[in-house]
Amino acid sequence: MHNLKLIIGFFLMHWVISAQDNLDFKKLVGKVDSSDFFLSPDYYTWCSSVVKGEDGKYYMFYSRWSHGNRTETDDPMNYIFNGFSGWCKYSEIACAVADRVDGPYKYVATVLKSKGTNDWDKFTFHNPQIRKFNNTYYLYYISNSYDSSLFENDDKKTKEWKQWLKYNCTQKIGVVKANHISDFINGKYTKPKVPLMQPDNVKTFEVTTNPTVIQGHDGRYYMMFKSRKPNVGNMTFWMAVSDAPDGKFTIVSDVFTNEDMACEDPCMWYDKKRKRYYAAVKYYSNSKKLVPQFGALALITSEDGVNWQGAKNPLISLRELKTQEGNIELAHLERPFVYTDDKGQPIALFAAASIKEPSKGGEHPTSEYNSFVVCFKLKSDKK
């Protein structure tokens, strides 16, 4: 009987440990100041992702595209998109470096940009996420081409929108890899000719975007991404699994098909202490079912990396910045990236932000209309 109690006690203890969901991320997020911002006077700045290099420095890969209007000379191909909406055609992935994870970061090189060739990734390079697996660096991203057959009705009222969709609806996920972080800067990376993930028109349709990839508890590689599902108003997260970081990913589940739980921009990690998966996301619903504000940053979780739900403490941050002078309300706070230690404990939170709506900022946005990356220094998680 005594041995039986010990066995039962062991399994109960193991279950409690494996089922821990006590991460309260919002308590880790402190105040910020101007030293925590990364921006450019000439470019919209978005989509950051950070990794530590072999040299001990921190490398931020991020999206950028130039301010202002374009001319036929700048862009003789097809259709021109000005201002903030230009991400869908002109975004490029750049790299900045810092001595500390929270910066300050300094631009060093543009890593991926359009070369005008007729490949699947002919135009924009966006949504970068940099990871290091088994001493190799993998840079995940999205890109698109152009499908002239889509939305052929060119009535004047919707012409620009339909032209935009001809690019937007060709988005796919790719990956490039390198043995050293400097190889990305020097252009010595390996770039496959085909995308890593694209709509299969069986489960997923229209686009595949927002990739986040980690190595899971079982040694396999887990990808969460966003795509369209038939008869569902919002985009849906999908989970896919592979035996290799750049291998064939097989879809194993869909996540949050209910519009009340609609999310985008996931950044996933595995918490070895709590023995569960977490993902920081942007909440894309007005229902307040997950967190109390549209566009707020939220926390979702899973024990197995396949079945997901809102975390016990789901709010990471409202759409605001807390400063010494008070709180600043934001038009955008999205594309979260959580930098963790080797145990999966959060060290820093990065996000794309703007104080005022950048699409309304005119040809030369002021600082309030400009977009920037903010780094939230996180307090120690003692649980």
Domain total of the chain: 1
Predicted confidence (pLDDT) per residue in 152-190, tens digit: 765 655 677 788 888 999 999 999 999 999 999 999 999
> Could you give the dihedral angle defined by the CA atoms of residues 268, 269, 270 and 274, in that order, rounded to the nearest 10 degrees?
-100
Q: Is residue 115 part of a domain?
A: yes
Predicted confidence (pLDDT) per residue in 206-248, tens digit: 999 999 999 999 999 999 999 999 989 899 999 999 999 999 9
First-to-final CA distance of the chain? 34
Q: Is residue 318 part of a domain?
A: yes
In angstroms, the CA 184 to CA 49 distance is 14
- pLDDT for res 8: 40
Q: Is residue 20 part of a domain?
A: no
DSSP string across 104-133: --EEEEEEE-----SSTT-S-EEEEEEEEE
Q: Is residue 154 part of a domain?
A: yes
- pLDDT for res 158: 67
Average pLDDT over residues 254-273: 97
The reply to whether omega before 230 is within 30° of 0 (cis) is: no
Q: Is residue 189 part of a domain?
A: yes
Q: Is residue 356 part of a domain?
A: yes
Average pLDDT over residues 91-97: 97
Residue 95 sits in a domain whose CATH number is 2.115.10.20
- pLDDT for res 12: 38
- pLDDT for res 65: 95
> In whole numbers, what is the pLDDT of the chain averaged over residues?
91
Write the CB contacts of 220 (distance below 8 Å, at least 6 apart in sequence).
241, 242, 243
What does pTM read for this prediction? 0.93
- pLDDT for res 164: 84
Strand partners for 174: 141
Q: In terms of Cα–Cα distance, which of 375, 335, 333 is closest to 354?
A: 333
Predicted confidence (pLDDT) per residue in 284-332, tens digit: 999 999 999 999 999 999 999 999 999 999 999 999 999 999 999 999 9
**Residue 26: pLDDT over 80:** yes
Average pLDDT over residues 138-156: 83
HSE on the CB side for 127, CA within 13 Å?
24
Residues in the chain: 383
Q: Is residue 276 part of a domain?
A: yes
Alpha-helical runs (H) found in the chain = 2-18, 87-90, 159-168, 181-185
Average pLDDT over residues 6-15: 43
Q: Is residue 9 part of a domain?
A: no
- pLDDT for res 143: 97
Per the structure, the complete domain to which residue 330 belongs is given by: 25-377
**Residue 9: pLDDT over 90:** no
Q: Please state, as a whole number, how many other Cβ atoms lie within 10 Å of the Cβ of residue 39.
A: 18
